[in-house]
Amino acid sequence: MGTSNPTIDAANAAADATPRLPAPPLQLKRPALFLDLDGVLAPLAETPDAVVPDSRRTAVLKAVAERLDGRVAIISGRTIAEVDRIAEAALASASGVHGLERRRADGSVDHAKPAKTVRQAVEAFHDFARDRPGMIVEDKTVSAGLHFRGAPAEAEAAKALARRLADDTGLVLQPGNLVVEVKTPGTDKGTALTAFMAEAPFAGGVPVMLGDDLTDEDGFVAAEAAGGFGVLVGPPRETAARYGLPDVDGVLDWLERLKESA
């Protein structure tokens, strides 16, 4: 008999009680696409390093970017270097670490200065993970992440530690999908989207943000405020997104159809 995962069970229960959102439209006037990576363009994996390039994904991204005159960006919690590794540098525009890194279409890059207390958080996460098999610590310089996908029984303890660190250090608590993060203040996926929309080639477009977890809600809100909308990928839940797609394959299918209709 299999064992129960309380985190996944709670998410499934919430999904069962929430109506599924309609699929996003294909007939859009000058769409500007903003895409999360994990859970949207790439399936979730046991570890961050286990997510690898995929020929279909790369081809779809290149084709859609060409069709939309470059109005496509990945906005991720990963670093831009990791985004480029997984997406094979298919897109000129990208934002990493929840907006703390942002590369414009012309190749110029903004890097936020890391808060000094990020080092304290990294050390605290390593101390926590040392005697808990399955925990993974990510040091992104401007933020610290603690993944508990491989140790679901430690989820509540990991979240409590992150909350304490945020209170003690002034870092921003950033919950995600089976991960918790504390990061340098000042940006989120919504601020990244808004910054892109003020620049070529995105300016004047209709922003569409595709995301799967809580870190993407800021992007959904920003897209709506700029005259566009959000698309929730995965099981239904309470969200600011107006539309939904079921999974990564559904996203790639929609992007292929959008390319033909744009």
Which CATH number is 23-112+187-261 given? 3.40.50.1000
What is the per-residue pLDDT across 147-186, written as a single tens digit (0 to 9) for each? 999 999 999 999 999 999 999 999 999 988 899 999 999 9
Domain 118-183, CATH number (from 1.10.132.20, 3.90.550.10, 3.30.70.1020, 3.40.50.10470) = 3.30.70.1020
Residue 17: its pLDDT value, please? 62
23-112+187-261 and 118-183 in the same fold? no
Q: How confident is the model at residue 9 (pLDDT cuts 50, 70, 90)?
A: low
Q: Residue 129 corresponds to which tokens in the numbers above?
A: 């993970």
The stretch 219-233 carries a mean pLDDT of 98
Residue 113 has pLDDT above 60, yes or no: yes
- Residues of the chain with pLDDT > 90: what percent? 88
CA dihedral 195, 102, 230, 48 (to 10 degrees): -170
Residue 177: its pLDDT value, please? 85
**128: nearest Cα among 170, 160, 97, 176:** 160
Q: How confident is the model at residue 142 (pLDDT cuts 50, 70, 90)?
A: very high
Backbone dihedral angles phi then psi of residue 188, each to the nearest 5 degrees:
-155, -175
H or E element in which residue 173 lies: strand 172-175
**201: nearest Cα among 104, 60, 98:** 104
Residue 111 has pLDDT above 80, yes or no: yes
Is 148 strand, coil or helix?
coil
Domains of the chain, residue spans: 23-112+187-261, 118-183
Known catalytic residues are 36
